[in-house]
Amino acid sequence: MDDALRFSEATELLYQGRKLDGCTLTPESPPIFMTTAFVLGDLDDVHRTYDEKGYTYVRTRNPNRTALGDAISYLEQGKFTLLFNSGMGAITTTFLTLLRPGDHMLANAHIYGETLDVINQLLIEYGVSVDLVDFEDLEAVRAAMKPETKMVYAEVVSNPTDHLADIEALAGIAHDGGALLMVDNTFTTPIAVKPMTLGADIVINSLTKFMNGHSDTLAGSITLHDEELYEQIHAIRMLTGTSGSPFGAWMIQRSLQTLDLRVRKQMANATKLAQALENHPRVLKVNHPSLPTHPQHQLAMKLFKNTDNMTAMFSFEMPDDKEKINAFMNRLHLAHYAPTLGGTRTTLSHPMHSSHHHVPPEELEKMGISYGLMRVSVGIEEGDDLVNDFIEAMSVF
Ligand X SMILES: Cc1ncc(COP(=O)(O)O)c(C=O)c1O
Q: Which stretch binds ligand X (CB under 6 A): 9-17, 80-88, 188-196, 299-307?
A: 80-88
Q: Does 218 bind ligand X (CB under 6 A)?
A: yes
CA–CA gap between residue 231 and residue 368 (Å, rounded)? 39
Q: Which stretch binds ligand X (CB under 6 A): 40-48, 86-94, 245-253, 345-353?
A: 86-94
Q: Does 213 bind ligand X (CB under 6 A)?
A: no
* Contact call for residues 73 and 54 (beta carbons, < 8 A): no
Q: Which stretch binds ligand X (CB under 6 A): 179-187, 228-236, 248-256, 386-394?
A: 179-187
Q: Does 153 bind ligand X (CB under 6 A)?
A: no
CA–CA gap between residue 324 and residue 319 (Å, rounded)? 8
Question: Binding marks (x or -) toward ligand X, 157..176, rule CB under 6 A?
Answer: --x-----------------
* Contact call for residues 283 and 277 (beta carbons, < 8 A): yes
- H-run or E-run covering 170: helix 167-176
Q: Does 86 bind ligand X (CB under 6 A)?
A: yes
- Which residue, among 136, 135, 107, 112, has the nearest Cα to 295 in the 3D structure? 136
Cβ-proximal residue to ligand X, closest one: 87
Contact with ligand X (CB under 6 A) among 73, 93, 149, 186: 186
CA–CA gap between residue 244 and residue 249 (Å, rounded)? 8
Single-letter amino acid, residue 313? M
Pick 304 or 328: Cβ nearer ligand X:
304
Contact with ligand X (CB under 6 A) among 30, 220, 244, 246: 220
- Which residue, among 204, 142, 202, 198, has the nearest Cα to 174 in the 3D structure? 142
Contact with ligand X (CB under 6 A) among 108, 161, 206, 212: 206
Number of residues in contact with ligand X under rule CB under 6 A: 15
Contact with ligand X (CB under 6 A) among 20, 58, 88, 273: 88
Q: Does 260 bind ligand X (CB under 6 A)?
A: no
* Contact call for residues 65 and 48 (beta carbons, < 8 A): no
Q: Which stretch binds ligand X (CB under 6 A): 1-9, 26-34, 85-93, 297-305?
A: 85-93
Q: Which stretch binds ligand X (CB under 6 A): 84-92, 241-249, 253-261, 389-397?
A: 84-92
* Strand spans (E) along the chain: 80-84, 104-108, 129-133, 149-155, 180-184, 202-206, 220-224, 285-287, 313-317, 336-337, 347-349, 373-377
